[in-house]
Structure 1
Amino acid sequence: MSGTDAGSPAEPGVLFDELGGRWRTVAYGPVFCVVALVIELLTGPVVHWFALTLFAAILAGIVSVQVAAARRHVSVSLTDTTLRQGSEELPLTDIEAVLPEADPYADEPQRWESARSLGELSGVPRRRTGIGLRLRDGSLVQAWARDDDGLREALTEAVDGGRGTSA
């Protein structure tokens, strides 16, 4: 259950970190079942012990699978050398530039908005925002994060800072 919130470094060398999912959400279903049990104990002649226990276990099981998947496929980590999006890792040396934010009022989307998103998912995950990257080979890709401003800032610093030290 330990981890860092979006943008706060977990260890030295980590510039940005998003977990993808939090284990505490597994407890929400069982907590609501306990609340229902207390209400039944206080108000009614019938208490559904078995049903509430079963629902609590089912909810905890389903949500734990979802959290495990989110932590594997929707986590983001930026270190001094690597950007990891889900299970895909991209060396920072492969990134040529962090592209400007997309204009939500533009008539036509920018080219990077239709580029492949990093990670093994088919697109930018829900509730995440894409960040355009131009790679050294000239291709465009989308990085993504829930805290896109934080990742954009950390990526820009890391890419520009890496270029400044090697020049």
Structure 2
Amino acid sequence: MTEPAAETTIYHEPGAGGAPLLWGPAFALAGYLAELSLGGPTHIFAWVLVGVVLLLLSAAWVYARRRFLLVRVTPSMLWQGRETLPVARIAELAEIDAPLGTRVLGGGWTVPRKYTEVPVRLDDGSLALAWARDGERLRSALHEARKAG
């Protein structure tokens, strides 16, 4: 997923932000403060361990979402999760409902949940499904990329 540094990004969805990384340590801190406010014994090591474990689990979750749900459009390339597609291969943006079994860009079986599908016709005549949280913005970014390319 490397790209030329000089190429501008027309549309970008990272897949996940960094906020979920704070949930585990915040939960552990809240648990420790609850123990402290109740006046009983405090288990500092246990809460630190809980915070670290939850941080690691959420880091794996954020990494996976950033890798598999990335959407990015530049004047020459479309990134959909693990797959890259040259914009020059997009013959047209189809205004049709894609039939069942249409290939989904990015390597998945279906369009990710809560994402909008954008049917595209490729230069070989096949139909594929691009996807984004904001389907209209992806569609306009692809139009812009096709004009630029």
Please list every run of at least 4 consecutive aligned residues from structure 1 whose deviation after the TM superposition is greater than 6 angstroms. none
**CA distance in structure 1 between the partners assigned to 2:85 and 2:69 by the alignment:** 15
* TM-superposed deviation, 1:92: 0.9
Q: Please give the secondary structure, in 1, of the residue aligned with 2:73.
A: strand
Match of 2:3 in 1: none
Gaps of 5+ in 1: 1-10, 103-109
The C-alpha deviation readout for 1:78-109, integer Å capped at 9, x for no partner, is 00011011121111111011122x6xxxxxxx
| Whole-angstrom distance in 2 between the partners of 1:113 and 1:94 | 22
Structure having greater relative contact order (Cα 8 Å, sep ≥ 6): 2
**Are positions 1:118 and 2:105 aligned together?**
yes
Does the CA-based 8 Å contact 2:7-2:75 persist in structure 1?
no
What is the aligned partner in structure 1 of residue 66 from structure 2? 71
C-alpha separation in 1, matches of 2:87 and 2:37: 59
- Structure 1 residue 157 corresponds to structure 2 residue 144: yes
What is the alpha-carbon distance in structure 2 between the residues aligned to residue 71 and residue 34 of structure 1?
A: 27
Provide the residue aligned with 1:8 in structure 2.
none
Matched, 1:16 2:11: yes
What is the TM-score with the length of structure 1 in the denominator? Answer: 0.78
Following TM superposition, by how much is the alpha carbon of 1:134 offset from its aligned partner in structure 2, in angstroms?
0.7
TM-score computed with the length of structure 2 as normaliser: 0.86
> Is 1:53 the equivalent of 2:40?
no
CA distance in 2, matches of 1:112, 1:78: 25
Distance 1:152 1:121, change over 3 A: same
For 2:101 and 2:115, the matched residues in 1 are separated by: 15
**Sequence identity percentage:** 35
Residue 125 of structure 1 deviates from its aligned partner by: 1.6
Rounded Cα–Cα distance in structure 1 between residues aligned with 2:69 and 2:118: 15
Work out whether 1:128 is the aligned partner of 2:115: yes
- Counterpart contact for 2:15–2:65, Cα < 8 Å: yes
